[in-house]
Amino acid sequence: MPVDYHVHTKLCGHAEGEMEEYIAAAQRRGLQEIGFSDHIPMYFLPVEERDPSVAMREEDLPRYIQKIKDLQQKFYPWPIKIGIEADYTPGMEMRLAEILRQYDFDYVLGSIHFINGWGFDNPANIHEYKKYDLWELYQQYFYTLGQAAGSGLFDVIAHPDLIKKFGFNPGHDLGGVYREVLQQISDSGACVEINTAGLRVPKNEVYPSPEFIKLCFESKIPVCLGSDAHRPELVGADFHLVLELLRSIGYNQVVTFNKRNRNYCRI
């Protein structure tokens, strides 16, 4: 079992368990390393509008980093990486870059959870899908994802087709949209995350779809693995399935990171 680079902590207000329990779960599963990637503070909102059940507070970020550093020492030489799941917000690139510059992250996951301020992957906001033309919504989502890649701020594009989470289908073939966004990801040098959380939501399909992963392989885009665990027992969840899928598509390695430099681990 290789690495799990998408793991949350209870600092975000909607995950449970101690970081030590996530590490123990990773070791039990036979993972070679773990990377924590909790939600970045909601830098894109005024402080008073930030929801403590969505992401850690700004003052928790240095504590989060320090806690991982302490655990690196405690579990040495077993590798624990310092990651972050950073929301991309068009027009806020400078602000995000400023935050990212302050810490020595091993890697940065780039995510889109908001469209025009609507947290579309939050079950509490699911009723708002009704307001949208789904095909336009999908196009807007992938357009923003392309912008995220183009920003050059991210090492990994996380759960690239998160917009499918609740199973609302756009009613159009997505091949063209995928190709366009993959060109931007390829140009940016970012890799794509294979995220097993998609198997635990109504859509019941890995993020991104197998079709998208095949196009990644054709475009020689490397992939990274994540469970998006919000509970210790979900670390490495369903990795045997995605490893099988990746090998069947042709991949024989996944990405690892050290201080934002990329390495590879055979699968």
**Residue numbers at the binding site for Zn ion (CB under 5 A):** 228
Nearer to Zn ion, 60 or 228 (CB): 228
Of 9, 11, 41, 38, whose CA–CA distance to 23 is shortest?
9
Nearer to Zn ion, 75 or 118 (CB): 118
Instruction: Report how far residue 102's alpha carbon sits from residue 253's, in angstroms, rounded to the nearest whole number.
Output: 31
Q: Which residue has the tokens 């008073």?
A: 48
Report, in Å, the least distance between residue 76 CB and Fe ion. Answer: 26
Query: What is the per-residue binding string for Fe ion in 79-98, x denoting contact by CB under 5 A?
Result: ------x-------------
Q: Tell me: does residue 228 bind Fe ion (CB under 5 A).
A: yes
Instruction: Report whether 88 contacts 154 (CB < 8 A).
Output: yes
Nearer to Zn ion, 146 or 198 (CB): 198
Residue 193 contact partner, candidates Zn ion, Fe ion, none, CB within 5 to 8 A by sort of partner: none
Q: Which of residues 92-151 bind Fe ion (CB under 5 A)?
A: 111
Q: Tell me: does residue 193 bind Fe ion (CB under 5 A).
A: no
Nearer to Fe ion, 65 or 249 (CB): 65
Report, in Å, the least distance between residue 55 CB and Zn ion. Answer: 8
Instruction: Report how far residue 109's alpha carbon sits from residue 162's, in angstroms, rounded to the nearest whole number.
Output: 14
Q: How far is CA 53 from CA 57, 120, 129, in A?
A: 10, 15, 21
Instruction: Report how far residue 264's alpha carbon sits from residue 67's, in angstroms, rounded to the nearest whole number.
Output: 26
Instruction: Report how far residue 154's alpha carbon sits from residue 208's, in angstroms, rounded to the nearest whole number.
Output: 17
Provide the binding-site residues for Fe ion, judged by CB under 5 A. Answer: 85, 111, 228
